[in-house]
Structure 1
Amino acid sequence: MRVLIADDQDMVRVGLATILDAQPSIEVVGQARDGLEAVALVRSLRPDVCLFDIRMPHLDGIEATRRVAGPEVVEPVPVIVITTFDEDEYVYDALRAGARGFLLKDADPDLLARAVRAAADGDALIAPAVTARLLRTFAAGREGAARQPVEPLTAREDEVLDLLAAGRTNTEIAGELYLSLSTVKTHVGAIMAKVGARNRVEVVIWAFESGFVDRAPRR
């Protein structure tokens, strides 16, 4: 899978590229020093996944994410936001802008590679340190704002959504609920359709905004 990295710090950008190029089936095809350059490279190179820093000159990572992966983009490119700043508002804004993952720069190489592969597969990976706590913090002031499902979720879909909101991957959900991976993907697809989400990150945001995570049993 082809990856583009955008970070204004040369050492960080080269380090990420070195880590990813060493992974099987991952190739870094472009590097950008700021958000504007990143957006231009995305449009010319069409990578499979992007890694964007939050704070970059000319155009920050959140706006760059919105331009290549936001709700209005016809053919969005998966973006993982990676930063040293783990303030709550950055996480929520990045996910709202269309990011499919959020990692801190101190993440280990294995987690970085897993996040890239997850994004390329249409999955999502948010660093464990920032998953539920940060989404819950921002959803607290927005409860009730989320649209209601076009039709009620089934009992099984409720279970799958509960685990999605807890940060589980499809494989982990399959193991916990004793389902096949294809069945889990079918349930996730049905949930996305019912709540009007384009991807699993939007499903998780919906779960917190609608109050689902407060009424669902936590695991």
Structure 2
Amino acid sequence: MILLLVSLMVLLLIGVPIAYSLGLSGLVYFLIMQPGLIGVLPQRVLSGMDLYTMIALPLFILMGLVMNASGITARLIDFCLMLVGRFPGGLGHVNISTSMIFGGISGSSVSDTASVGSAMIPEMARKGYSVETASGITVASSTMGMIIPPSVPMVIYAVTSQQSIGTMFMASLVPGLLIGLLMMGIIALMAGRQGYPVPTQD
């Protein structure tokens, strides 16, 4: 364990990215402590990739990229602006509702943050929100992509624990919606205190 932690810290200190540091420190541990298991590692990696349900993961992310490149994300923002934009702190509500819908399509919080944030953060800053507030709302709302189905982490967990993906999706739908509604309630309180404007469609 000490060897694993020391090699990880050394790799991080010399500037190796975290993902590579984790993999390399594990490889160093096996090379020194369990060299006989090196031959098993490629088999385990390939067997982990040879799962039918894992095909969904890159397709979720691809869907998010297609939405962003085709302009669907901008139309989705306009749709949410029409629904909830007339309320105080409307752009915050639009940010959250867009993330809820987008996360339910792409299944990836990273894709949600990149797509929605690139459009919403500059617009919110232009309408009087601080950049910190706009970024915080975007990052917080994008976490619903891990909860509202379909969810990439949920698929990985279901495959690993051999649980029903459909059952997990059904169980996470209501909590995801409640989190979104609670965030919108917090935005309404912030709008009353900070005096955020009600946006108008140009």
The structure, 1 or 2, with the larger RCO (C-alpha pairs under 8 Å, 6+ apart) is: 2
- The structure richer in strand per residue is 1
Q: TM-score, normalised by structure 1?
A: 0.24
* TM-score normalised to structure 2 length: 0.25
